[in-house]
Amino acid sequence: MEYRSIKRCGNVKVSEISLGCEGFIGKSEEEYKIMLDKALALGINFIDMYTPNPTFRINFGKAMKGRREKLVIQSHLCSVWENDEYLRTRDIEKTKAAFEEGLKLLDTDYIDIGMIHYVDSEEDWDRIANGEIIEYCKELKANGKIRAIGLSSHNPVVARKAVESGLIDVLMFSVNAAYDLQPANEDCFVLFEADSYKDGMGVDPDRKLLYEVCEKENVAINVMKAFGGGDMLDASLSPFGVAFNEYQCIEYCLTRPSVVAVMAGCHTIEEMEKVVSYYQATKEEKDYASVLAKIERFNFSGNCMYCGHCAPCTVGINVAEVNKYLNLCLAQGMVPETVADHYKLLEHHASECIECGRCESNCPFGVSIIEKMRKAKEIFGY
Ligand code: SF4
Ligand code: SF4
């Protein structure tokens, strides 16, 4: 297992492959323990708990007993349990009661990431950012009941607004290659309808910008729907008309800027083993770029997908990273200080490019890399 840091949560290290909680639901108390034992044995230390289901919380609390500190828990605020189902709410009293009950049932004093649940419209975010919910989150953070404030969203425009507000530390966002081709939409199910793609599409600039802004603001992204609810893995359901494998989906997410973890909704031990076997997969098995490049309906041409296919550069430049920082500056119309710092830390810089063209012949997306290196040199000065 490899780990990545969540900078705005005390640099806590989380496993790149982590767990959603849906696979625990409906299992016996004993099975919770078996699942959690296996997750920890595989090196998984990060779990998302969107549900306020009391049975889940009680059983997970019992399974976790004596090893709380081994886990990084992301639990959702504004998600409450009513009439045997979970509901999204913005009612402050219900939110407070559900959070306090969650601590009790999980038998813990704190939650690592208090995630504001499912914010997909700007009006909703504006109400949260200017109201009691965000004040409550700040209060929880100040008194140590949560270590970081998170927000879950499917909408890149809303998510970016939240990230740029400086109010959130972590973003849970739906990421996969199909979603990245779509315009912002409040209904994530529309993203998988064939009609959404009939005219052909390129990379959605809002999503691209979101990832880059997260990187600039040190907001860590953890990914939901990496497999598109399973549709990405099935040629008949995938909007691309070809199936990706699990490794390609994971690799795609882990190569997006700012992503720290993919939350896999594993229901069985075998499914957990399968996603973690990503680390034994070959480069070819993980290669999503060659699949995307062959899909005729889409036009990725000229867009850097940060896939790293162009490596190795003759002089050792990390082209994907340089492109990432360059795009961020171009999108902002300036060189933000944090981006300049990141660029400085690269071992080799754009100015070292000898324009041999080796990388360009390896790029499946036809990116004019030499031109990009020239531009990066111009913008960063070296
Ligand atoms: S330049 Fe091309 S090959 Fe290199 S990271 Fe970008 S898209 Fe991938
Ligand atoms: S053209 Fe520049 S960036 Fe590409 S491989 Fe050659 S030296 Fe590296």
Q: Is 313 in the pocket of ligand 1 (CB under 6 A)?
A: no
* Nearest C-alpha neighbor of 72 from the set 116, 133, 113, 35: 113
* Type of residue numbered 133: I
For residue 287, the CA-to-ligand 2 centroid distance in Å is 21
46 and 84 within one domain: yes
pLDDT of 198 above 60: no
Whether residues 87 and 227 share a domain: the answer is yes
Query: Whose CA is closest to 17, among 38, 47, 37, 41?
Result: 47
Question: pLDDT for 77-90, tens place per residue?
Answer: 998 999 888 888 99
d(CA 212, CA 258): 7
Same domain for 229 and 374? no
Q: Is residue 153 part of a domain?
A: yes
Pocket test of ligand 2: the residue of 304, 310, 313 to mutate, having most ligand atoms within 8 Å of its CB, is 313
Q: What is the pLDDT of residue 200?
A: 46
| 3-class secondary-structure state, position 152 | strand
Question: Counting ligands in written order, which one lies closest to the CA of residue 373?
Answer: 2
Tokens of 186: 């409040």
Considering the domain architecture, whether residues 30 and 124 belong to the same structural domain is answered as yes
Residues 323 and 277 in one domain: no
User: Do 116 and 245 belong together in one domain?
Assistant: yes
Pocket flag, ligand 1, residue 304 (CB < 6 Å): yes
User: Given this model, what pLDDT does residue 317 score?
Assistant: 96
pLDDT band for 296, please (50, 70, 90 cuts): low
Instruction: Give 203-256 pLDDT, tens digit per residue.
Output: 678 888 898 899 989 999 999 988 877 777 877 666 677 788 999 999 999 998
Q: Per the domain annotation, does 205 fall within a domain? A: yes
Over residues 65-94, the mean pLDDT reads 92
Measured distance CA(87)–CA(98) in Å, rounded: 11
Q: What is the pLDDT of residue 184?
A: 43
Tell me the per-residue pLDDT of 301-336, one tens digit each, with 9 for 90 and over: 677 777 788 889 999 999 988 988 887 787 677 887
Q: What percentage of the chain reaches a pLDDT higher than 90?
A: 63
If you take atom 4 of ligand 1, which residue's CA is the nearest one? 310
User: Are both 274 and 350 inside the same structural domain?
Assistant: no
Strand 146-153 to strand 170-174: parallel, antiparallel, or no bridges (unpaired)?
parallel
The pLDDT of residue 299: 55
CB burial readout 20-42, b (16+ within 10 A) else e: bbbbbeebeeebbbebbebbeeb
Average pLDDT for residues 22-31, to the nearest whole number?
92
What is the distance between the alpha carbons of residues 124 and 343, in angstroms, rounded to a whole number? 36
Cα distance between residue 265 and residue 19, in whole Å: 6
Q: Is the pLDDT of residue 201 over 60?
A: no
Q: What is the pLDDT of residue 303?
A: 73
pLDDT of residue 334: 80
Cβ < 6 A, ligand 2 pocket = 313-315, 317, 319, 353-359, 369-370, 373
Please name the residues in contact with 139: beta carbons below 8 A apart, sequence gap of 6 or more.
none
Three-state SS string over 48-62 comes to: EECCCCHHHHHHHHH
Structure confidence at residue 84 (pLDDT): 84
Q: Which of the given ranges, 36-45, 79-88, 184-193, has the highest pLDDT on average?
A: 36-45
From the list 72, 26, 80, the residue with the least C-alpha distance to 50 is 80
For ligand 2, the distance from its centroid to the CA atom of residue 175, given in whole angstroms, is 30
- Taking the CB of residue 238, how many other CB atoms lie within 10 A of it? 21
Interior angle at CA 154, CA 53 and CA 169, nearest 5: 80
Residue 186 is predicted with a pLDDT of 45
- Establish if 297 belongs to a structural domain: no
Mean pLDDT of the chain: 88
Instruction: Note whether 280 and 356 are same-domain residues.
Output: no
Q: What's the pLDDT score for residue 95? A: 96
- CATH code for position 171: 3.20.20.100
Q: Does 366 share its domain with 250?
A: no
Rounded CA-CA distance 285/274 in Å is 13
Indicate if 286 and 326 belong to the same structural domain.
Answer: no
Does 31 have pLDDT greater than 70? yes
Q: Between residues 87 and 36, which one has the greater pLDDT? A: 36
Check residue 314 and give its pLDDT.
94
For range 167-196, the mean pLDDT: 70
Count of domains observed in the chain? 2
Residue 122 confidence (pLDDT) above 70: yes
> Which is the closest atom of ligand 1 to the Cα of 369?
1
Whether 28 and 108 map to the same domain: the answer is yes
Q: Work out the burial of residue 212: count CB atoms within 10 Å of its CB; fewer than 13 is exposed, 13-18 middle, 19 or more buried.
A: buried
pLDDT score of 174 more than 80 = yes
Question: Does the residue 33 lie in any domain?
Answer: yes
Q: From CA 62, how far away is CA 53, in angstroms rounded?
A: 14
Task: List the domain range (segments joined by +) for residue 90.
Answer: 3-290
Rounded mean pLDDT, 131-143? 97
Contact 257, 212 (CB under 8 A): yes
In a domain, 309, yes or no: no
**Cβ 367 under 6 angstroms from ligand 1:** yes
SS3 247: helix
List, in sequence order, the alpha helices (H) in the chain. 29-41, 54-64, 92-106, 122-129, 132-142, 156-164, 205-217, 246-254, 269-276, 283-286, 289-293, 319-332, 337-345, 358-362, 369-380
Query: 95-99, 119-123, 235-239: which range is least confident on average?
Result: 235-239
Which is more confidently placed, 332 or 172?
Answer: 172
Residues 276 and 325 in one domain: no
- Give the distance (Å) from ligand 2 centre to CA of residue 355: 5
